[in-house]
Structure 1
Amino acid sequence: MGIAKIDGAAKYSFKQHTPGENASALIYACSVCDFMDIDTERYEVVAVTGNSMGWYIAMACAGALDADSAIDVINTMGSMMQDGLIGGQLIYPEIDAQWRRDSDISALIDRVIETICDEEGCELFTSIYLGGYRVLAGNESGLKRAEEMLPQVDERYPMRLYNHGAFHSPLLEQVSEKGLASLGEFLFSKPQIPLIDGEGRIWTPYGTDCSKLRQYTLGDQVTKPYDFTKAVQVAVKEFAPDKVIVLGPGNTLGGPTAQALIDINWFDWTSKAEFSSAQQISPKMLAMGNEEQRSQVLVKR
């Protein structure tokens, strides 16, 4: 079944909509449509970033990939594991109830990773620094051991991420090699808007080397940890936006984005309570998956 038919299905199917070869294109379409709906008469987009697959979307929004190139890259990378996932991921919080980073939990996660990697047949790595959460990637043995060793939190965590491979880890070396072999430099352009990657590096309209952008995107971005927290923090420190707009679909990145900002006391937010209170008075973060906030971003008709 083609993507258009899946998108137009009468009901959401977890089994059909979440595999990478389908989810990637659907998420891309939703996010890019959101980006195109931003009222540029009221909002000047000064920089763009994204998380994990959102890096490809960020490149499309910034103009580093045109429409055809973006779907080519996204379809290629999203379908690399359609014949079978390589490893998996789980997510675990490293914050307290007020969304403040807990250094003891972070240290515990690091110790668990080190211990598990010393065990025969086990592989476990930090995959994504996601605001107040750590996403871990590994093989099945490593993930099972992590589930045993990490204390249960809120009867939810550690939580396996369904249909997720071991993204942003050395287990995807072959995926990186296939991507580099399949996707040429001609697909990549200098961004029209500054672009912040998962290492906190800024790719500018004037200084971007397209060969290096391709190498990062298909190389380190695939096999090394993606630091979304750093990307958000660099974006606000370097470009000082009045508002932070979070594209859809949904609002899953709203919390991690706010947590990344709380971590550096941005907008004078030092806790979840302060963030929530400030958002009620005059929201600085506008999530397009939130209907009320979305209305503040859209072109008024």
Structure 2
Amino acid sequence: MTRKKAVIVCPGRGTYNAAELGYLARHHADKGDFIAMVDALREAEGQTPVSALDVAERFSLARHTSSENASPLIFACALADFMAIDREQYDIVAVTGNSMGWYLALTAGGALSHEEGARLVNTMGKIMQAEGRGGQVVYPVVDDDWQPVKEAADFIEASIGLAAAPGSQMNIHASIRLGGLMVLGADEKGMKYLGNRLPRDGRYPMQLANHAAFHTPLLSHVPPLAQEKLGAEMFAKPAIPLIDGKGNQWSPWSTDTTALHGYTLGAQIDTTYDFSKAIEVAAKEYAPDVFILLGPGTTMGAPVAQELIRHRWRGLTGKSAFKTRQGSDPLILSMGMEDQRKLVVG
């Protein structure tokens, strides 16, 4: 049997919500050793084990989406999903991720061991819980058929420029380029401005609960704190090529682990994370047959598809064309969706 070439996409924060409660228990009862390792790390820090968070009686926005809880919980779900992929069906040619998903990509790709990946994610979750500043707002820059809306993009760029002008009393920055969505990071005044001035579009502008202004200069104080706690010695050359938030590739043959550490705990924290560019590079450089999106959650499918449509990849021209293709020969398989999950797991 010829294996399909697959690019793996790791999720970021905000992907474990009420619908995902029990995800670990439902899908990964056979990965007790891995989950126990993450739990032990948490317990050593006096924190609630991820297995206990996962089987809580009810979902709590404050508890389950806090930085120090959400990050390791998503890490455990996503890495367990990665381990469940049927390697006889899929040849994994590259790994990328969105925002916090970069830490997961490092672990899935072998640049970090499972233990070191869990330590990095948990440590960064604690740092962000204590040191996070500002917030994030999500706004679409595509229409219902996932075609670009120039007016929305222009308004966002103008808002960023206004905040950067001399004498401005607010901060607004491009945080994540996420397919057809733009994630903006801002301080309190910037968040208020965006909430009042961005044109209403259904549920948008959407403020993300318990999210700081990650990937912006508002967190420029965080890299020294992270680098003090997490040294370069924990990094290794990846076993699988990695694509970061600038679209750069980290190869198993040429990666400088000191530089990888420097990016991960430096520019990755306080400069724009270009997930769109990462997907473009993945598509053009690796020509995968399929993108496999690790769980939990199902929110990453649209941004990946929107970026592929932007480049007319495999003839995709819009949302309707994408849905038609998905029904016959899927280009994207989301492990957070039961019907697609069955096509991925061994």
1:123 to 154, 158, 171: 171
Q: CA deviation at 1:177?
A: 1.3
Q: CA deviation at 1:84?
A: 5.8
Which SS does the other structure have where 2:129 is aligned? Answer: coil
Q: Given that residues 132 and 219 in structure 2 are in contact (C-alpha distance below 8 angstroms), is that contact kept between their aligned partners in structure 1?
A: no
In structure 1, the residue matched to 2:261 is 214
Runs of 4+ in 1 over 6 A off after TM superposition: none
Structure 1: how far apart are the matches of 2:66 and 2:216?
19
User: 1:110-162 CA deviation, whole Å, 9 max, x = no partner?
Assistant: 001111333532001000000000000010101111122211112x1111000
Name the SS for the 1:82 alignment partner: helix
Indicate the larger mover: 248-257 or 75-84: 75-84
Q: Is the 8 A contact 1:112 1:150 kept in 2?
A: no
**Contact persistence 1:112–1:149 (CA under 8 A):** no
In terms of mean alpha carbon deviation, does 98-107 or 236-245 score higher?
Answer: 98-107
Give the whole-Å Cα distance in 2 for the aligned partners of 1:52 and 1:284: 22
Q: What's the CA shift for 1:51?
A: 0.3
1:10-25 matches, within 5 Å, as 10-25=57-72
**1:255 aligned partner:** 302
Q: Hey, what's the Cα distance between the residues in 2 that align with 1:16 and 1:58?
A: 25
Q: Is the 8 A contact 2:131 2:222 kept in 1?
A: no
Aligned to 1:81: 128
1:109 pairs with 2:147: no
Structure 2 residue corresponding to 1:224, chosen from 253, 271, 292: 271
2:102 to 49, 55, 59: 55
Kept after mapping to 1: 8 A contact 2:163/2:169: no
Deviations 1:221-255 (Å, cap 9, x if unpaired)? 00000000000110111011111111110111011
TM-score with structure 2 setting the length: 0.84
- Identity, % of aligned positions: 45
Paired with 2:176 and 2:116, the residues of 1 have a C-alpha distance of 25
| Unpaired stretches in structure 2, ≥5 consecutive residues | 1-46
Instruction: Note if contact 2:162-2:168 (Cα within 8 Å) is conserved in structure 1.
Output: no
Whether the 8 Å contact between 1:85 and 1:163 is mirrored in structure 2 is no
Partner of 1:39: 86
- Give yes or no for the alignment of 1:142 onto 2:190: yes
Structure 1 distance, partners of 2:91, 2:57, is 37
- Residue 72 in structure 1 maps to residue 119 in structure 2: yes
After superposition, what is the alpha-carbon deviation per residue over 1:249-269, rounded to whole angstroms, capped at 9, x for unaligned? 011101111111111011211
Where does the alignment leave 5 or more consecutive residues of structure 1 unmatched?
A: none
* Counterpart among 217, 222, 228 of residue 170 in structure 1: 217
Tell me, in whole angstroms, the C-alpha distance in 1 between the residues paired with 2:148 and 2:228.
40
Does 2:60 correspond to 1:2? no
C-alpha separation in 1, matches of 2:273 and 2:128? 19
Return the TM-score normalized by structure 1. Answer: 0.96
Show the counterpart of 2:280.
233
SS of equivalent residue, structure 2 residue 176: strand
**Aligned Cα root-mean-square deviation (Å):** 1.1
